[in-house]
Amino acid sequence: MTISKTKYCAGVQCLKRLYLLVHSPELAAQPDDSAESIIEQGREAGMLARKLFPGGVEVSERGLDQAIRTTRELVANPAVQAIFEGMFEHDGVLVRVDILQRRRDKRWRLIEVKSTTEIKDHHLEDVAIQYRVVSRSGLDVAAAFLAHVNRGYVFDGGDIDVRRFFKIRNLTRRVERLQPKLTFQLRSEFTILSKPAPPDIAPGRHCTDPVTCEFYDRCNPPHPDDHIVYLPRIHASAMEELEEMGIESIREIPDDFDLTDIQRRAATCVQTGEPWFDRDGLALKMATLRYPIAYLDFETINPAIPRFAETHPYQQIPFQWSAHIQQRPGSEPQHYEFLATDENDPRREFITSLFAGLGESGSIVVYSSFESQRLSELASSFPEFADRINAIQTRLFDLLPVVREHTYHPAYAGSYSIKSVLPALVPEMTYDGMEVANGQDAGLAWESLVYGGLSSDKCEHIKKALLDYCALDTLAMVKLLDKLVVRS
Ligand code: SF4
């Protein structure tokens, strides 16, 4: 039996995960659009890193034997200075190496490319298994590196400067030190795989760390509505303490158990089945609102590889806004919106259209600090607009802390996100059935609209889905605020 590097790393996370991947892959959940986009981001970073090694040759064969044969031929050819995606096998473990660079002394450098902005613990296992297999396949590996994205790199608008875009870290000593652990881990993995049934491993924090396991739903059936996991911001140590006391239901938490005020309030709501509204606190907050009230929401992308000049990796780039504006209490809100639809940097048009849409006075209701953070970034990117942006920021009214500090509903299930709060307080509104139903969907939809080369019919379809979604987000805030006013 052979296992790939990916399966080896899955086994480091959980031996049951490895077993199921090998013996019952059909039970695995398929990656969703956001997981696919992370994979794609990694692939793009890998392709970019190849530019650091001009003249490198790719092993493009997908078939195992042929890929190994081609890799051997390239290794034997001294004219080849770098090999991309070289395939190696040793003792039942297969690895495909992002980059192998031939040194002048005929030894090799191994380079793994990641689209993250730092080294994570599980990257070490990833590099260590490659180092082991390649070294034991007969290559003299002098050093092992990890190339990751340099968050501090600022794109100048021409070609990406790959030398500055990546940070290359030497992990040789660390992966060498891991080798005895790998020997032990590999023995465990092959032993487990030879068994007739998966190991009996209880689910736990490892199910989502370092990645969410594809068998998560299978091992973690949904908790009942009153489970302690649904207390707001419950800390793992408090969960453990309660579990040790044999307590799984919020209803059974003793009165003297140490909870934060917000958690205690949530527990009381679940125990009584009644929502809680702090009328006086809500009234005080509502009294600070000034008409016309605008309800505002942004959508953004944050690409690993910058697209626009003067931006850095993973910088949030706003491409769409929606605002519902209510002139006076009870009046029908008017809707205003902006959506960038071409490949140009959308930020200047975004902010100038926003100035026009929001006018000069009145409160601007948002849900979370996200919009304020984006405005700060726009102010530093476009200093000529800084004063006007600052004027908008002083008008912001963040509804999230108001909801968090002055309300609770058992249906929040411990979360104050608008996607949890809305169905509890405004059940007549729903995101169900929307083609774009969250911020991540919106970013992916915009990428395909602008860069996908789609037919005009498809583009129109995506535009409508984006506009509908963002408009619903701001209309949701109108309705939410109405409900809070009634409760104040
Ligand atoms: S869900 Fe958790 S316990 Fe189940 S296979 Fe995955 S990591 Fe292991």
Q: Report the distance separating Cα 220 and Cα 29, nearest Å.
A: 13
Residue 324 pairs in a beta bridge with 295, 335
- For residue 67, with 0-12 CB atoms within 10 Å meaning exposed, 13-18 middle and 19 or more buried, which class applies? buried
| Distance from the alpha carbon of residue 218 to the mean position of ligand 1, in angstroms | 8
Q: Within 13 A of 128's CA, how many CA atoms are on the CB side?
A: 21
Statement: residue 60 has pLDDT above 90: yes
| Distance from the alpha carbon of residue 234 to the mean position of ligand 1, in angstroms | 22
Contact 49, 66 (CB under 8 A): no
Statement: residue 374 has pLDDT above 90: yes
Task: Please state, in angstroms and as integers, the Cα–Cα distance from residue 330 to each residue in 291, 292, 361, 402, 478, following that order.
Answer: 11, 11, 18, 21, 10
Element housing 396 (H / E): strand 396-398
pLDDT tens digits, 457-479? 999 999 999 999 999 999 999 99
pLDDT tens digits, 229-238? 999 999 989 9
Stretch 30-46: mean pLDDT, rounded?
A: 89
| Distance from the alpha carbon of residue 83 to the mean position of ligand 1, in angstroms | 35
| Distance from the alpha carbon of residue 221 to the mean position of ligand 1, in angstroms | 12
Looking from the CA of residue 17, the nearest atom of ligand 1 is 5
Residue of the nearest CA to atom 4 in ligand 1?
A: 219
- Of 127, 132, 122, 133, nearest in space to 147 by CA: 127
Looking from the CA of residue 204, the nearest atom of ligand 1 is 2
| Distance from the alpha carbon of residue 240 to the mean position of ligand 1, in angstroms | 19
Stretch 105-116: mean pLDDT, rounded?
A: 97
Statement: residue 35 has pLDDT above 90: no
pLDDT tens digits, 165-180? 999 999 999 999 999 9
pLDDT tens digits, 205-253? 999 999 999 999 999 999 999 999 999 999 989 999 999 999 999 999 9
**What's residue 47's pLDDT?**
97
**What's residue 266's pLDDT?**
96
At 103 the three-state DSSP class reads coil
Q: Which amino acid is at 182?
A: L
For the ranges 191-200, 251-260, 430-439, 476-485, the lowest mean pLDDT is seen at 430-439
Statement: residue 486 has pLDDT above 90: no
| Distance from the alpha carbon of residue 200 to the mean position of ligand 1, in angstroms | 10
Statement: residue 36 has pLDDT above 90: no
Looking from the CA of residue 198, the nearest atom of ligand 1 is 5
Stretch 12-23: mean pLDDT, rounded?
A: 98
Q: Average per-residue pLDDT in the chain?
A: 96
pLDDT tens digits, 270-314? 999 999 999 999 999 999 999 999 999 999 999 999 999 999 999
**What's residue 488's pLDDT?**
82
Q: Which amino acid is at 233?
A: R
As for ligand 1, residues whose beta carbon falls within 6 Å of it are 13-14, 16-17, 20, 201, 203, 206-207, 213, 215-216, 219
Q: How confident is the model at residue 37 (pLDDT cuts 50, 70, 90)?
A: confident
How is 400-443 classified by DSSP, letter by letter? HHHHHHHEE-GGGTT--SHHHHHHHH-TT---TT-SS-SHHHHH
pLDDT tens digits, 443-459? 999 999 999 999 999 99
Domains of the chain: 3-193 (3.90.320), 226-274 (no CATH), 282-486 (3.30.420.10)
How is 152-194 classified by DSSP, letter by letter? T----SSS--HHHHEEEEE-HHHHHHHHHHHHHHHHHHHHHHT
Statement: residue 437 has pLDDT above 90: no
92: left (phi over 0), alpha (psi -120 to 50) or beta: left
Looking from the CA of residue 213, the nearest atom of ligand 1 is 6
Statement: residue 431 has pLDDT above 90: no
